[in-house]
Amino acid sequence: MNPEALSAALLAVIAPLAEARRPGAAEGLTAADLPLERPKNRDHGDWSSNAALKLAKTVGANPRELAAEIAEGLTAVDGIASVEVAGPGFINVRLDAAAAGALAKTIVDAGAAFGTNTTRSDEIINLEFVSANPTGPIHLGGTRWAAVGDSLARMLTAQGAHVTKEYYFNDHGAQIDRFARSLVAAHEERPTPEDGYGGAYIGDIARRVALAYEGDIDALEPDAKQEAFRALGVGFMFEEIKKSLHDFGVDFDVYFHENDLHESGAVERAVARLTELGHMFEADGATWLRSTTFGDDRDRVVIRSNGTPAYISGDLAYYLDKRERGFNRCIIMLGADHHGYVQRLMAMCAAFGDEPGVNLQILIGQMVNLVKDGQPMRMSKRAGTVVTLEDLVEVVGKDAARYALVRSSTDSNLDVDLDVLQKRTNDNPVFYVQYAHARTHNVGRNAAASGVDRSEFAPELLSHETESALLGVLQEFPRIVSFAAEVREPHRVARYLEELAGIYHRWYDNCRVIPLGDGPVESVHRTRLWLNDATGQVLRNGLGLLGVDAPERM
């Protein structure tokens, strides 16, 4: 019996009780109004509900008395072994072994689809993340967003959402000019400009530009020379960024060029739209957005008095462009240094007539520090000033890097211990989870060699306490994925997988899939193979949502 079936049974019992006490009380009542939770203490049963506490006032009843009536009705439901009332009116439900064990076959039959649904099929999401300037390799903050953003996209897609992963390519503005001047200086063997970019990668890109340029690049006038290094250098740098991300398991659907906004008239269209809506005004020769109307701390200059667009003009144009492309959810993932942008971006969203937090959502991620031998790593061999995506992957590999960056909430700073991630022990969380998956395959191989197959399924035999615990955690997977997608917190899936791996290892130590010695193959062995394979499937599905491999041997 899955949570949906139990919720339906709960509704079937409660609706007539509520109606009998107060006519009309059950009108509009749905299973979603009757929450079910896994008790923290498994001695309290498989599921718990506070439905009686929520409904008592509506139907005019004492919560505990109402809970007792609900419990009496639930005990008659097939698959429910017992129901108890606890405290002021909590209802604790225990399933019988057969009803609980049936989940193992459900998972195996569903395969990769277990944990997916179509509840978000009406959401057309533009998920923008990383979007690092093409002026150098991706630093650790961007690497964290690459891992988290890609995992979030997978989870939203698993819930039926239509997700487009987008990289905003900053190829316009002062930072690009500084990058070009740094390339020219490296080519001419001059010191890096005071406001320029250093690191060995600048010399590498400069050499590539000089080789790729058709003609004598040194014969160009200074401005033309800088433009040549800009055009070719940005392209080469972005190629490297895309390759690094691809090797990290992250590919984008759209690479949107900032420069296109300024050349396509998108800024003018955004200003025109906001003017039409009555939210623009002229003052001191400049064009302003009256963003204080929508909660901003001050109004914003959009077009300066000299006619040049201010920084926010690109934000206005880009947001409108996304909405015109049909996205009804725009999620932007920004680093901690962009926290001050949230208020103005939400005001911008409201100015266009949209709902902040719905049509536009901003996620802020905190910093990442690498620790080795107990000391922070601060310098990259190649980038010089920061540790990069390549540095991390080179030391621990793609899987450990992705998992380590996803398993903690992005609201907090993250210290990644490289020494732990290089260990092949249970101290290493990704090894712990991957080893559990590999163990399920090893059990399957040994079972086949011993003549144990899935030709029989008797769920009532899955009665050991570790089997009850394992089934309970497996049952949670769809809910965990759905909630992680809803609150934009992929780390919840990683932490769930670690819990599942731990409970699976305990089950493995207590319950044999293969007969002992020369003992005969019995129904319990075949049934346990279903549970073993179901666990492997959920571990595989969960690791896939994190973009982490699920090895069959380790």
Tokens read off for 119: 């509840």
Note the pLDDT of residue 75.
92
Note the pLDDT of residue 28.
86
- Could you tell me which residues come within 8 angstroms of residue 43 by beta carbon, excluding any fewer than 6 positions away? none
- Cα separation, 48 vs 110, in Å, equals 26
**102 half-sphere exposure, CB direction, 13 A CA radius:** 11
Note the pLDDT of residue 474.
95
Note the pLDDT of residue 148.
97
- List of the chain residues with pLDDT < 50: none
Count of residues for the chain?
554
Going by the DSSP 8-state scheme, the letter that residue 518 receives in this structure is T
Residue-wise pLDDT for 345-370, tens only, equals 999 999 999 999 999 999 999 989 88
Residue-wise pLDDT for 112-151, tens only, equals 999 999 999 999 999 999 998 888 899 898 999 999 999 9
Question: Among the residues of 159-310, which ranges form H helices?
Answer: 174-187, 200-212, 222-247, 258-263, 266-276
- Cα separation, 291 vs 297, in Å, equals 8
Helix/strand/coil for 359:
coil
Note the pLDDT of residue 329.
98
H or E stretch covering 529: helix 523-545
- Model pTM score: 0.89
- Could you tell me which residues come within 8 angstroms of residue 2 by beta carbon, excluding any fewer than 6 positions away? 103, 106, 475
Tokens read off for 531: 């549970």
H or E stretch covering 395: helix 389-396
Residue 370 backbone class (left: φ over 0; alpha: ψ -120 to 50; beta: rest): beta
Tokens read off for 468: 């009850």
Bridge partner residues of 256 (DSSP): 168
Note the pLDDT of residue 380.
65
Q: From the CB of residue 325, how many other CB atoms can be counted at a distance below 10 Å?
A: 14
- Could you tell me which residues come within 8 angstroms of residue 131 by beta carbon, excluding any fewer than 6 positions away? 167, 168, 169, 170
